[in-house]
Copies of this chain bind each other. A is one copy, B any other.
Amino acid sequence: MRWLRYQGAGGIRYGTVEGTTVAEIDTTPFETWRRTGTTVQLGAVKTLVPVVPGTFYAIGQNYAAHAAEFGNPAAAGPARPQPGYRANSALIADGENIVIPAESGGIQYEGELVVVIGKPGRYVAERDALSIVLGYTIGNDVSERTWQRADSGLWRAKNTDTFKPMGPWIETDVNLDTLVTRVRINGKQMLEFKTNEMIFGVERYIAEITKYMTLHPGDVIWMGTEGSNADMKAGDVCEIELDQIGTLRNPVVAEQPR
């Protein structure tokens, strides 16, 4: 099942995508819901960020080659799962513009699997972890590398306005073990990797997080990216494809002079 969040005639709505049609529901996929009977054409509605999370988790250095580039050079990756946080204010939907700040020294894409939590969980064992997941979407963890190097934290490097494209929808039916991530700039493939070849996987992260904190419906966990990424320039179009989920596509523009 594929959940779209969109701007409906009467406000923000959720619906299921069936081919080119969206079948509206009365509440959200995080609650008891029923179909309203209203349908709209997928191409005719404004797609919104698939969920605005209560808590927005993000994992750094969760693939070997990316960890080698940005982590401790003496280690093959982090010794244990350690999530970080991102800012809701940076979220944009599929199709919206990634804006390169005027003072930026260069921004890069990072294609990521996003886990969308569906049920509350605390002290969830690894074997039960996927039972609290509603589904999966796609994230582009856009990063400003000069700020990432200059600052002691990631606050502006990864949370500047428009730096967190997420979408286009939530897919509930995904086989993590066969999932493939591809990143394209202007149609040219830049990266391809097996999505689940993470240092610590989805189940492990859910188990580790819920030792300390409750995961709530609507929370998201961005699972990190692999490989070395390239700078994006104004006029580019960045596409992140996770083959069983869909494609997150965002144009890149320069900040307008103020």
Contacts and interface: CB of A to CB of B under 8 A. Distances in A.
Interface stretch (A148-156, A224-232, A239-247): A148-156
A200 B156 CA distance: 17
Contacts of A86: 85
A167 to B, nearest CB: 18
Interface of A is mostly: loop
B89 A216 contact: yes
Given A85-B86, A85-B87, A78 B212 contact: no
B82 A258 contact: no
A45 interface: no
A119 interface: no
A89 B57 CA distance: 11
B161 A213 contact: yes
Contacts of A250: none
Interface residues of A, number: 32
A122 B161 contact: yes
A83 B155 contact: yes
B88 A160 contact: no
A155 B214 contact: no
Contact of A85 (B155, B216, B219): B155
A88 B211 CA distance: 16
Contacts of A122: 161
A211 to B, nearest CB: 8
Contact of A213 (B83, B151, B160, B258): B160
A252 interface: no
A52 interface: yes
A108 interface: no
A55 interface: yes
A105 interface: no
A101 interface: yes
A137 interface: no
Contacts of A89: 54-55, 213-216, 219
Nearest to A215: B89
Interface in A41-79: 52, 54-55, 78
A82 B54 CA distance: 23
